[in-house]
Amino acid sequence: MEFITIKRENAVACIEMNRPPANALAQALLKELAQAFGQLENDPETRVVLLYGKGRFFSAGADIKEFVQLRKSGGSDALAVSGQELFEKVEAFPKPVIAAIHGAALGGGLELAMACHIRLVTENAKLGLPELSLGLVPGFAGTQRLPRYVGRGKAFEMLWTSEPLTGTEAVQHGLANHAYKEEELLPKARALAEKIAKKSPLALKASIELVNYAKTNDYEKGLEQESARFLELFGSKDAEEGIKAFIEKREPRFTGA
């Protein structure tokens, strides 16, 4: 794989994302993530998965330049659905998945992290969903998962302002489990992963299934509506302006069209 490296040690499989400069979740990276989780699902040597990004970021979000190509090619139809399917697989993965977040987890990057079972962050990490700045909404279940962690009011604030939480704030609002100094993050994450890996694989799998029973039919309907609205907005003039403004590093001028 070009953008993913898997290393196994003490029953922990470390998935490292490496797509410079920001580990943007382009379709190629998403496909490799799906491949990596597919490999590890039935690997008897793997009991816990640790996911992190190489370089300055966990993942700074979607590849906005790829958005431009998708708008031109008309290939956006399956974009939200494929991302949702992958992140649903991560959340239902039969082995614990821990996200170790440094730098930033924004947009799709935060949506990926929210699909993991546990999130560990650096104190100064940035976690947010800035899609409304592009004239869009999150497309990978962000609107469905974020309120489960931070509550409806804080979720609306984060969506509407596009302002991220720091790692420390994310812990305070329930979006992350623990915040550490930069140099402590991966050692702490590995220690937690190895501690969890000592538990019975059967019991770990059962606990994941049981906790996920709390997901309702409304959640599934929400996923369908999110992908539909994402695609609707993706074709709007406001989205065209938002994407263009992002690339040109200026304030977008939305008209409601």
CA atoms within 13 A on the CB side of 157: 8
- Asked whether 82 and 30 are in contact (CB, 8 A), the reply is yes
User: Is the link from the previous residue into 21 a cis peptide, with omega within 30 of 0?
Assistant: yes
H, E, C per residue of 19-88: CCCCCCCCHHHHHHHHHHHHHHHCCCCCCEEEEEECCCCCECCCCHHHHHHHHHHCCCCCHHHHHHHHHH
Give yes or no: 45 in active site: no
- Asked whether 113 and 91 are in contact (CB, 8 A), the reply is no
**Distance of alpha carbon 135 from alpha carbon 233, whole angstroms:** 7
Choosing from 111, 169, 226, 240, the catalytic residue is 111
Choosing from 131, 169, 226, 240, the catalytic residue is 131
Give yes or no: 131 in active site: yes
- Asked whether 118 and 177 are in contact (CB, 8 A), the reply is yes
**Distance of alpha carbon 41 from alpha carbon 63, whole angstroms:** 27
> Would you name the residues annotated as active-site residues?
111, 131
